[in-house]
A and B are shown apart, each in its own frame.
Chain A
Amino acid sequence: EVQLVESGGGLIQPGGSLRLSCAASGFTVYNNYMTWVRQAPGKGLEWVSVIYSGGNTFYADSVKGRFIISRDYSKNTLYLQMNSLRVEDTAVYYCTNRVYWGQGTLVTVSS
């Protein structure tokens, strides 16, 4: 059974940094297309970033230059390093390969 489990969310002040993790089981992160999708409270889905099987990465304009997507082969884990956080980054963050989704982790950016 495939499971994706996100962690690392929490309350952070504007300008701060957080690293989200997405631990996979029954599924190999390293060989697959993986994305981060977020959902602000009461709002719709917003695509954030992608890492392809070959390692190429792309970002939404709203996070470009601030967020970094990466993966660890030995830990079978996807990451999202989030820097220079803004109030508007407040959201539940999901890792997904489109078919499989984690349960989400809440990031709250507030002073």
Chain B
Amino acid sequence: DIQMTQSPSTLSASIGDRVTITCRASQSISSWLAWYQQKPGKAPKLLISKASSLESGVPSRFSGSGAGTEFTLTISSLQPDDFATYYCQQYNTNSETFGQGTKVEIK
């Protein structure tokens, strides 16, 4: 199975900060990568698919980039609603896998 490794595991940031989360795949997944946001007690929300395609209704401060094995999720200016846990997910193979998550906390 393809392993997905996110870094950092926890990130402390302030309102207005630029935030970057990295996701690395153990082998190439082309651009078959999604990013999700999850808040406590809620289902995940899809932010980005195919590595860089922003879902409808997602604020433009979110962006995704990368291909192959290295991917990033960037929040250009952190807002109060963005404090949450973020997950990457590969769907290049029939056995999909998630990263372990990155918790974005208030500094």
Chain A residues near B (Cβ < 8 Å): 35, 37, 44-47, 50, 56, 58-61, 94, 96, 98-99, 101-104
A98 touches B34 (CB 8 A): yes
**Other contacts beyond A44-B101, A47-B98: 17, CB < 8 A:** A37-B44, A37-B98, A44-B100, A45-B38, A47-B89, A47-B96, A50-B94, A60-B95, A94-B43, A96-B43, A96-B44, A98-B34, A98-B49, A99-B46, A99-B55, A101-B44, A101-B45
What CA separation (Å) do A35 and B98 show in the bound complex?
13
> How many of B's residues come within 8 Å of A, CB to CB?
21
Q: Does B81 touch A at the CB level, under 8 Å?
A: no
Q: Is the interface of A mostly helix, strand, loop or mixed?
A: strand
B50-77, CB < 8 A from A:
55
B96 touches A35 (CB 8 A): yes
What CA separation (Å) do A58 and B44 show in the bound complex?
22
Offer 26 A-B interface pairs, CB within 8 angstroms, sorted by A.
Answer: A35-B96, A44-B87, A44-B98, A44-B101, A45-B89, A45-B98, A45-B101, A47-B89, A47-B97, A50-B94, A50-B96, A58-B95, A59-B95, A60-B95, A61-B1, A94-B43, A94-B44, A96-B43, A96-B44, A98-B34, A98-B46, A98-B91, A99-B46, A101-B43, A101-B45, A104-B43
Known A44-B100, A47-B89, A98-B34; contact A103-B95, beta-carbon cutoff 8 A = no
What CA separation (Å) do A46 and B95 show in the bound complex?
11
